[in-house]
Amino acid sequence: MALELNNLKKPKRVKKSRKRIGRGNASGSGTYSGRGQKGQGARSGVSNLKRLGMKARLLQIPKSRGFKSLQPKNQVVSVAEINANYKEGEVVNPETLTAKDLVKRVDLPIKILGKESLNIKDLKFEKVKMSQSLQDQIKK
């Protein structure tokens, strides 16, 4: 007989049934129900981590503070760098910016900032964000 999906069987006792505690002395785990006699661990409301001695370990690990935004940060390029690296009629997009080593990664957003004036005419901007002052300069 070949081993196929339709004739696979689970081995006996695959899932072990949980130990039912505190169901009388006849069950074998009655009386103190695995909690010993008196003390903090015998009371209700004590976490298992505390009983296992892990609370001190957990407190030793520093909490991670702050939060990490899901939106990636913009890679910033200044207008002065564009004036220095581009000529008239060229296209400013993530690919050309990485080729000229102004930006490290193509997949992260890019924003062009700067209060300087844009000296080059006929530049085409594609797939990049830009500051309001730069947008006003392009419109003029």
**131 falls in which pLDDT band (50, 70, 90)?**
very high
The model's pLDDT over 11-58, given as tens digits with 9 standing for 90+, comes to: 887 888 888 999 999 988 999 998 889 988 888 888 777 777 788 888
Q: Distance between CA atoms of 3 and 7, rounded to whole angstroms? A: 7
- In order, the DSSP letters of 49-96 are HHHTT-HHHHHHSPPPPS---SSPPPEEEEHHHHHHH--TT-EESHHH
Q: pTM score, two decimals? A: 0.53
pLDDT at 12: 80
Which of 80, 73, 68 is closest to 113 using CA atoms? Answer: 80
Any idea which fold 75-139 has?
Ribosomal Protein L15; Chain: K; domain 2 (3.100.10)
